Amino acid sequence: MLRDISPQSIFMGLLAGFVGTASSFAVVLQGLAGVGASPEQAASGLMALSISMGLCAIVLSLKTRLPISIAWSTPGAALLATSGAVEGGFAVAVGAFIVCAILIIISGIWKPLGRAVAGIPAPLANAMLAGVLLGLCLAPVKAVAFDPLLGLPIVIAWIVMGRFNRLLAIPAALLAFVAVMVFGVEFPENAIADLGSAIAPPVEFVMPEFTLTGLIGIALPLFIVTMASQNIPGTAVLRANDYDTPPGPLFTVTGIFSLLSAPFGGHAVNLAAITAALCAGKDAHPDPSKRYWAAVSGGVFYVVFGLLAGLVTAFISLAPGVLIEAVAGLALIGAFAGSAVAAFKDEDGREAAAVTFIVTAAGLTFYGISGAFWGLLAGGLIYFLTHLRNGKKKPD
């Protein structure tokens, strides 16, 4: 096994880990804060997710000798960011995370549940995701309006680097954010000392609470988004690179690691898609049987990043909120564009997708349940009525 290690696979794995964290950790922090997490709880959640997905990638890759890349649920974090604080606080959200993890485990063991998620009409799933992402994707514009001197460098860095290398566009925006923080934001007194005290891993256990509102408003939409937007595409990336492995056991293991991270604030880990392409492709190693070390080295990077999550979160907390939202929004523009195109390309489902998108993007909350659930419900009703009508129009 050790003879399969190569500098090429190690480098590609570290690049995948860097891209995976730099491009979306801001979304995770926004999402956890959106459902009521304190800064300490958000830091703990970021730590728990990073370590869980790192260990999950290491365990699965070494066990299967396949490049199984793991990521946190970025669409799920975006969903949380737009859901708003739930009645009962972050403890209810943690209870929902646990339910979501259990559903992911069951989907890997009990095939009908996995098929049911895969059977959700693609236009509706993509429209719900697009509606969830819209609000965050507007954040870069709001940041420029808030203060052009602070917001424009972040956006310009993203645009310029994106013309050369799309994968490095968000890391470039993140570096611009750091530069803006250092040279453009006045830190409060004792800020540097506070950063020094944040080096220790931020472990915060949250006693979960289980409510119907948390189940319907957070757990179910989080489960659907994670499966439809992460786990299922993740298996497709593996198959596209000629790694044909049963997805059920992979779902189950990611669900177990999600369950372990949930009490410490982690919302969900899942199969990766973009970083999976880096680790499973030819750039990781010419020999497909040796590419699994790329996923292993990426997992090591995630664990190290998780141990530094307190320091990262403490630094981010010094910035105006709109700036970190801008970085998160830039990271999600590609996902928004892809989901919007997929939602509206099918003429038969276009009207239902539009209803799903509008209701979700409106962000309305009824009975404490977020708009994502109501959007999927409203769109599903229109989808059913549309196909019922079209079915009646068909000749006998």
Burial status of residue 396 (CB atoms within 10 A of its CB: 0-12, 13-18, 19 or more)? exposed
Q: Cα–Cα distance between 156 and 82 in angstroms, integer?
A: 26
Are the beta carbons of 218 and 93 closer than 8 angstroms? yes
Q: How far apart are the first and last CA of the chain?
A: 62
pLDDT score for 270: 93
Cα–Cα–Cα angle for 64, 68, 73, rounded to 5 degrees:
140
Query: What DSSP letter does each residue of 219-242 carry, written as one string?
Result: IHHHHHHHIIIIIHHHHHHHHHTT
- Residue spans per domain, the chain: 2-338
Task: Report pTM.
Answer: 0.77
pLDDT score for 396: 46
pLDDT score for 153: 92
Q: Cα–Cα distance between 267 and 28 in angstroms, integer?
A: 9
pLDDT score for 339: 82
pLDDT score for 62: 92
Could you tell me the two tokens for 234? 């993740």
Alpha-carbon distances of 184 from 58, 156, 189, rounded to whole Å: 40, 16, 16
Q: Cα–Cα distance between 370 and 295 in angstroms, integer?
A: 35
Could you tell me the two tokens for 242? 């000629």
pLDDT in tens, the chain (396 residues): 667 677 778 887 887 788 778 777 888 988 999 899 998 899 999 999 999 999 999 999 999 999 999 999 988 898 898 877 788 899 999 999 999 999 999 988 987 876 776 677 878 878 887 887 788 788 899 889 988 888 899 999 999 998 888 778 878 888 898 888 888 777 666 666 666 666 767 889 999 999 998 998 899 989 988 887 788 878 877 876 778 788 889 999 999 999 999 999 999 999 987 677 778 877 777 888 888 898 999 899 999 988 888 887 777 777 777 787 788 788 778 878 888 888 898 888 889 999 989 988 887 766 556 677 788 888 888 988 887 766 655 544
- Comparing CA positions, the residue from 271, 219, 220 lying closest to residue 247 is 271
